[in-house]
Amino acid sequence: MDMEEKEIEYPKFKESMVKTHTILIPNMLPIHMSLFEQVLLQSGYKVEIMRNEGPDVVSEGLKYVHNDTCYPALLVIGQFIDNLNHRDDLDKVVCLITQTGGGCRASNYLHLLRKALIKAGYGYIPVVSLNMSNLEKDSGFKYTPKLIFKLAAALTYGDLIMYLNNKCRTYEKEKGATMALTEKWVKELSNQFANGKGTSYKAQKKNCYAISKSYDNLDLDLSHKKPKVGIVGEIYIKYAALGNNHLEDFLVSQDAEAMVPGLYGFMLYCFWNNIYDTEIYGRWKKKALITKFLLWFMQRREKIMIASMEGTKFTPMKLFKETKEMSEGVISHGTKMGEGWLLTAEMMELQEIGYENIICAQPFGCLPNHICGKGVMKKIKSLHPDANIVAIDYDPSATKVNQENRIKLMLAIAKERIKEDDKAEL
């Protein structure tokens, strides 16, 4: 068979569609996505964050994606098709999907989505790829420096608010006060973006300090220790409520504090891996120069975010370079498929900053996460004997009840330890 002859021409997202077509985006991180949505709207794109959930999402995914495929791909593609099934503006929509551009299967999600759309009868709908590797050169979606600058600011705010929101939710005296503050900040920052403000280094510094202070002023009941649980794992399953069955909400309902490492870590990990590849293989030198600049640019903003928590009651997260060092001796930095060594480093960091209880969210079909998650648990436990880590599998047939029961067992151990500590203190 002549492959070139058989190559399919997929519909492209052209510049002429920017004003007329709505870009559908999966909702991986609700706080971040609300801010990204505002930045994209402000840059002239029509966007809609998909919030559809329910059994139809999984069944559409199962129908149109091979059952060997990673669970995050199945869910995201199922969510697109379920969303399209309920629209009447099908000639004016575009699907946006992220690709890491690395060696992992996430780089193929774009093609999996295109194939699924054809099978579902939506082959005429363009798909746009959001990636850091320039995998699609003729797309109408343009990364201008201005857009990157704004998205970076939204990322800084998103990570800080997510972190502080999780720090306060379990301890709030007035029910709902934390979420109300979070919504207030998302609205305030969206307004700033809409008015062309909030993205400069100076503005980010001012906003980050104001955000940290406002959460520090919330009325919290810190008189009793509660289990502190870190969530790590594959990027989509770790963050998306659709993927992890609303894990953060479940932990709060069980009177535990949830902590999810920010998106900064993954972003900086991708940049750092590019530089590492150049050092090892001596190739892509020009690309490494750009990446070095981006790494420096983002790390400056990471410092503001962390420094803004100084003087508050919150223990901040570690800087990326410190987190990276923590994985040394546990896993090689050459392990960089999927979340790679970052997953291990995040588990080590969580141990250091007081989150000895960890849920490692593992999707079906994900080999890298099994190696860098489950594969290193024994080593982490040997270094941190109090580590209480549980790996939870997420796949279309795993029941929520089963997942929650396993988490409850982990929490029972955590609560028992708190009791023992309290007794010892008395």
Give me the sheet containing 257-259, strands edge to edge: 257-259, 228-233, 357-363, 388-394
70 binds ligand SF4 (CB under 6 A): yes
258 vs 361 by CB, closer to ligand SF4: 361
> Which is closer to ligand SF4, CB of 168 or CB of 263?
263
Q: Is 105 in the site for ligand SF4 (CB under 6 A)?
A: yes
- Of 104-112, 135-143, 324-332, 347-355, which part binds ligand SF4 (CB under 6 A)? 104-112
Q: Is 242 in the site for ligand SF4 (CB under 6 A)?
A: no
2 vs 68 by CB, closer to ligand SF4: 68
Nearest-approach distance from CB 175 to ligand SF4, in angstroms = 36
The reply on whether position 106 binds ligand SF4 by CB under 6 A is: yes
Instruction: Report the residue from 298, 306, 342, 366 that binds ligand SF4 according to the rule CB under 6 A.
Output: 366
Is residue 302 part of the contact set for ligand SF4 (CB under 6 A)?
no
373 lies in the site for ligand SF4, by CB under 6 A? no
Candidate residues 26, 72, 265, 373; the one interacting with ligand SF4 per rule CB under 6 A: 72
Applying CB under 6 A, which part among 38-46, 103-111, 223-231, 341-349 lies near ligand SF4?
103-111
> How far apart are CB 102 and ligand SF4 at their closest, in Å?
8
Tell me which residues in 323-362 interact with ligand SF4 (CB under 6 A).
338
- Given the rule CB under 6 A, which residues bind ligand SF4? 70, 72, 104-106, 234, 338, 363, 365-369
